[in-house]
Structure 1
């Protein structure tokens, strides 16, 4: 199935979601019809999980996944919180350590 079909042609979520945003099911049952992808996403969110992880499990593009998750947030079935950075993500020593690790993998 084409990704734009899954999101009903929508390309923008109504909720601001980052790839590292955490989403979690609230226990509220959504009213109305949800597609199978919505149901799968909701199942994946029983425990806090990142948007990127949900996209990977659903094998859907991140943009489509954000639309699906946004639908679930809008109906109260999911809650979201922004990513928490314990370190400065632009800290030079952190970036150099990541680069060094990547070089060793190649």
Structure 2
């Protein structure tokens, strides 16, 4: 194995990842240069695998995404796990939705009334917890 390469435990092929350089395949190569997904995804959109596999969506990046979608997971989480920009991740997800391998559910809208206000005590508790961890 060449110097600087190691076996990856996150599922990435070590031939395409170098410790010093990072991912050796440019992100937009993964999406064939496409920057617009065929479906609308918010970063909070939840996706989940349907169990259906089609030959059109059998690339290594598609397989990696499908492996992460055994249960409901957000677009943002998937992008973080596969170390790709959100727009490229959305293109991959749209491919998988188009071929029936994934289902997507948009986040629920929150009404803009007094009942939808976030509890200040809850926000302060979260902030204090984050401060303790950092």
Structure 1 residue runs of 4+, over 3 Å off? 85-88, 90-94
SS in 2 for 1:32: helix
1:23 matched to 2:51: no
Determine which of 64, 67, 72 is the counterpart of 2:88.
64
Greater relative CO (CA pairs within 8 A, separation 6+): 1
Distance between the aligned counterparts of 1:47 and 1:84, measured in 2?
Answer: 18
Which ranges in structure 1 are unaligned for 5 or more consecutive residues?
none
Tell me the equivalent position of 1:53: 77
Identify the match of residue 81 of structure 1 among 105, 110, 115: 105
Q: How does the TM-score come out when normalised to structure 1?
A: 0.82
Q: Which has the larger radius of gyration?
A: 2
Gapped runs of 5+ residues in structure 2? 1-24
Relative to the length of structure 2, the TM-score reads 0.66
Kept in 1, the 8 Å contact 2:46–2:107? The answer is yes
